[in-house]
Amino acid sequence: MTKLHIKMPQRPLISIIISTKNEEANLPRLLDSIRGQTYSHYEIIIVDNFSSDSTVSIAKQYTDNVFIKGPERSAQRNFAAHKAKGEYILILDADMELSSDALSTYTHECLSGNYSALSIPERNPSPNFWAKCRDLEKRIARNEKHLVASRFITTRDFLSINGYDGNLVSAEDYDLDDRLRKAGFRIGTSNTVLKHYEDEGMKKIAQKKYYYGKMLPKYIAKHKQIALKRFNPLRQVYLKRVRLLLVNPVLGGGLIFLKLVDYLAGGLGLIIGLIRPI
């Protein structure tokens, strides 16, 4: 049964949750974009994972709600959600940036659609080649519900399913979305794009995929069927939107190589994770 959430005020308070670790280069851009919102009824909650740079001092210039918590972002986000005073929470990474009307749009979309949560499409505006390839991937995956996850969520509904699974380091956002849907909550898709500056080089990409691959068995054990669909390299969406690959042949070729690295590094990590569970 689909659950309908209780009617909310027309200008609900939004609790913006940001998990950080050594993000001094990215955090000011995100926080400045929050300051520039046309919707002013929000609070910022930053939970830092023991940064060794100036992340915490930067955070304190924008909000008094700065906390130190580890060991991973699931625990950080859950901690922040329990501190939140807002009717909605917006979960962001430090390397993101909001358009000036983002908060007003997300609020309107949730209220008008009577949604419990919104998935938010992303674009990667970073200038390096691999970032452009990743941006093409995000354009292809847009509106595919099994390839995106909720970020704007009613606080009550988030807490009702106990937030993120603290045992998951990889695919914890997918797991949250899976459990929201299984519980019968309505999830919409926003029309307002979120900028996500993922600009790692190939070595860092491979290392990250290997690390997350090692952690993936725990997610697969919980969601075997949907995991096969989410992590299948032969995704139907590539056929549905093949035009985007054909009109961008250089980026399309780069994306194919990037996904090959993703699956090789992630697959190796997955094998290690199955042999030596963490």
Distance of CA 27 to the CA centre of its chain: 16
CB atoms under 10 Å from CB of 232, counted, come to: 10
Tens-digit pLDDT profile for the chain (278 aa)? 556 555 566 789 999 999 999 999 999 999 999 999 999 999 999 999 999 999 999 999 999 999 999 999 999 999 999 999 999 999 999 999 999 999 999 999 999 999 999 999 999 999 999 999 999 999 988 877 777 889 999 999 999 999 999 999 999 999 999 999 999 999 999 999 999 999 999 999 999 999 999 999 999 999 988 888 888 877 777 777 888 888 989 999 999 999 999 999 999 999 999 999 87
Rounded Cα distance between 42 and 233, Å, is: 39
pLDDT at 154: 98
Q: Is the dihedral of CA 98, 101, 107, 113 positive or negative?
A: negative
pLDDT at 236: 73
SS3 label, residue 113? helix
φ, ψ at 19 (rounded to 5°): -95, 135
| 114 phi-psi bin (left φ>0, alpha ψ -120 to 50, beta other) | left
Question: Which amino acid is residue 99, in one-letter code?
Answer: S
CB 153 within 8 A of CB 91: yes
DSSP character at residue 146: G
SS3 label, residue 170? coil
DSSP character at residue 185: B
The residue behind tokens 């709600």 is 65
Q: How far is CA 80 from CA 45, 68, 111, in A?
A: 6, 10, 23
DSSP character at residue 6: P
Helix 202-222, helix 249-275: angle, nearest 10: 50
**Which residues have CB under 8 Å from 145's CB, separation 6+?**
119, 187, 189
